[in-house]
Amino acid sequence: INKEMTPTYIFNLFIFLVIFNVYNCKSIGKNSILKSFFNNKVLNIIFISTIIIQIFISIFLRNFFSLNYLNYIEYLKIISFSLSIIVFSEFIKFFRRVFNK
């Protein structure tokens, strides 16, 4: 990553981490979110809308926010990395279920 791209990556990564963490907040404790991932239609609409708005901001308002252009591969990398927050939370919940019986 070159230094001029760092703020753009951080900005997008932070937003996508927050967006994906919303699903973690649906199920606090030991229960997996994977069982009920798509059962809240309003949340899913807001989730998809927020992703679209974020990409819109990053593309069309990037000068206003002093961001650099990201191609679709970079977005996929950021989104993939952001999904790690769900994976990490699911590992923690799995170990809570296994060791707290």
User: pLDDT tens-digit profile of 27-41?
Assistant: 777 677 777 777 888
CB hemisphere CA count around 24 (13 angstroms): 18
User: Would you say residue 57 lies in a domain?
Assistant: yes
User: Would you say residue 26 lies in a domain?
Assistant: yes
Structural domain harbouring 40: 6-99
Can you list the positions of beta strands (E) in the chain?
none
User: Would you say residue 81 lies in a domain?
Assistant: yes
Burial of 71: CB neighbours in 10 Å, binned 0-12, 13-18, 19+: exposed
Question: Tens digit of pLDDT for each residue in 42-85?
Answer: 988 998 999 899 889 888 998 898 889 888 899 899 999 999 99
User: Would you say residue 68 lies in a domain?
Assistant: yes
Burial of 23: CB neighbours in 10 Å, binned 0-12, 13-18, 19+: buried
Of the candidates 88, 27, 23, 81, the one whose C-alpha atom is nearest the C-alpha of residue 50 is 23
pTM (global) more than 0.85: no
User: Would you say residue 62 lies in a domain?
Assistant: yes
Rg (alpha carbons) of the chain, rounded to whole number = 16
Q: Is the pLDDT of residue 24 over 70?
A: yes
Q: How many domains does the chain have?
A: 1
User: Would you say residue 1 lies in a domain?
Assistant: no
